[in-house]
Structure 1
Amino acid sequence: MLLIILAAALIAYTAFNFFYQRKIMKQLPEEDFRAGYRKAQLIDVREPNEFEGGHILGARNIPLSQLRQRSKEIRPDKPVYLYCQNTVRSGRAAQMLKRKGYNDLNCLKGGYKNWTGKVKKK
């Protein structure tokens, strides 16, 4: 019985997060993301080793693991364009930023793995 309750709680929590993330941030297809990110703050929330392996040209690396401490580097009055490898971390980043008062949050649909535009590798 306890396992059923735990499983139901986990499913409910996952569903809540899924729908909450969809509510607070816009998931943009690559074409729309590309059209808007130059006028915004482009943040790659992947870890530094992933960022160095290749990132969208012009992106700043603020890993999700450091976002709480480094959120002051992101201006709340400008749009924020987030991306990670596949959208899981950018959803968590959007939740964190929303709690800190950021409102114009956008995410690359499908994440960096589906990006076909210009990239920079170190």
Structure 2
Amino acid sequence: MFLVILLGALAAYTIYSYFYQRKIMKTLTEEEFRAGYRKAQLIDVREPNEFDGGHILGARNIPLSQMRQRHKEIRKDQPVYIYCQNTVRSGRTAQMLKRKGYNDLYTLKGGFKGWGGKIKAKK
């Protein structure tokens, strides 16, 4: 019985998080993302080894695992374009930033996996 209640609570939390993330950040197609990210703060929330393997040109790497300590590096008065590998970490980052007072949040539909534009990788 406890397991059923636990699974139900987990499912409810997952559904709540999904809809809350959709409310606080706008998901953009690659074309929309490309049109606006140069006028915004472009943040890659993947881990440094993922970032070094390839990232969108002009992105800053602030991993989700470091966001709590480094969120002040991001300005609140400018749009924030967030991406990760597939959007899971982007959603968590948006929730954290929203709690810290950030409002103009965007994410790339499909994450870095869906990006077809220019990338930069360490050699």
Give the TM-score normalised by the residue count of structure 1.
Answer: 0.99
2:45 is aligned to 45
Tell me how large the CA RMSD over aligned residues is. Answer: 0.4
Show structure 1 runs of 4+ deviating over 4 A: none
Gaps of 5+ in 2: none
Distance, in Å, in 1 between the alignment partners of 2:4 and 2:80 is 39
- How far is the alpha carbon of 1:44 from its aligned partner? 0.1
Q: What pairs up with 1:17-96 in 2 under 5 angstroms?
A: 17-96=17-96
| 3-state SS, counterpart of residue 92 of structure 1 | helix
5+ residue gaps, structure 1, are: none
Task: Quote the sequence identity (%).
Answer: 79
Residue 66 (structure 1) shift: 0.3
Q: Which amino acid aligns with 1:39?
A: K
Look up the SS of the partner of 1:37 in the other structure. Answer: helix
Partner Cα distance (2:83, 2:7) in 1: 30
Listed as ranges, the matches of 1:100-115 within 5 Å are 100-115=100-115
Q: Which amino acid aligns with 1:2?
A: F
CA shift, 1:50, in A, is: 0.1
TM-score, normalized by length of structure 2? 0.98
